[in-house]
Structure 1
Amino acid sequence: MARIMITDDAAFMRMMLKTLLSEGGHEVVAEASNGQEALERYATHMPDIVTMDITMPVMDGIEAVREIKSRHPDAKIIMCSAMGQQVMVLDAVKAGAKGFIVKPFDNEKVLNEISKLLGTA
């Protein structure tokens, strides 16, 4: 079981991911609607894993990954991207993301990515 923070500007996507992760046996400890909130909430909640949307207002996901990783080098972050955002995903991986999941979410693939990061896959 992992303690997870979900970051997405769409409340609907956060709700879907929260349900999927909870049903998969994980605990959602925090949610953020932009990169700035993610940065602040990471420090407060210290989750095991962060799911990070790429396109968000205030601070996008790639910048948020850079900031979180600069302050918390051991942070494990999975990017969430829509189809066709492969270039952005590569930028996110260069910034320190450890994996990515594609929207619309495939429940099994999401849970497999989490397991990979936890080393239980």
Structure 2
Amino acid sequence: MGIKLVIVDDAPFIREAVRNAVRDTEIELVAEAADGEEAITVVMKKNPDVVLMDMVLPKKNGIEATAEILEKNPKIKIIAFTTLDQEGLLLKALEAGCCNFLPKPFTTEKLLKIVRSVLGE
């Protein structure tokens, strides 16, 4: 059984990069979302193992979306997805319940390693 992943990012090219990175791996991209409100809806519907969550999003930011998702389903692993110059956001993301972070820009190898590691693989 593969790893079910949801990517949440408002930039279509980032979602495409993640889609390409997980192609032909055990990671199945089950859904994408472009804002925090959509993220909550999609995650509750698809029940993924892992969510890759951008922290700067329209409508509801990644920190708020993370907290709300984990309140509803604390078993989901959420990885903060942001640039390294946003250290304050990263700390807030970890406080909200993110279990790890993936810096932008990312490599395919780093993405796969972090997704697997949050599930203990």
Provide the TM-score with structure 2 as the length reference.
0.95
Q: Distance between the aligned counterparts of 1:117 and 1:108, measured in 2?
A: 15
**Counterpart in the other structure of 2:119:** 118
CA RMSD of aligned residues (A): 1.0
Unpaired segments of 5 or more residues in structure 2? Answer: none
Change (3 A) 1:23 1:86: farther
Aligned to 1:5, the other structure's residue is in SS state strand
Identity of aligned residues (%): 37
**Counterpart in the other structure of 1:65:** 66
**Counterpart in the other structure of 1:32:** 33
Unpaired segments of 5 or more residues in structure 1? Answer: none
**Counterpart in the other structure of 1:17:** 18
Change (3 A) 1:23 1:102: farther
**Counterpart in the other structure of 1:94:** 95
Q: CA offset at residue 82 of structure 1?
A: 1.1
Structure 1 outlier segments of 4+, above 4 Å: none
Q: Distance between the aligned counterparts of 1:51 and 1:23, measured in 2?
A: 18
Q: Kindly provide the CA deviation profile for residues 27-82 of structure 1, in whole angstroms up to 9, marking residues without a partner as x.
A: 00000001100100111100010000011110010010011011111111001001
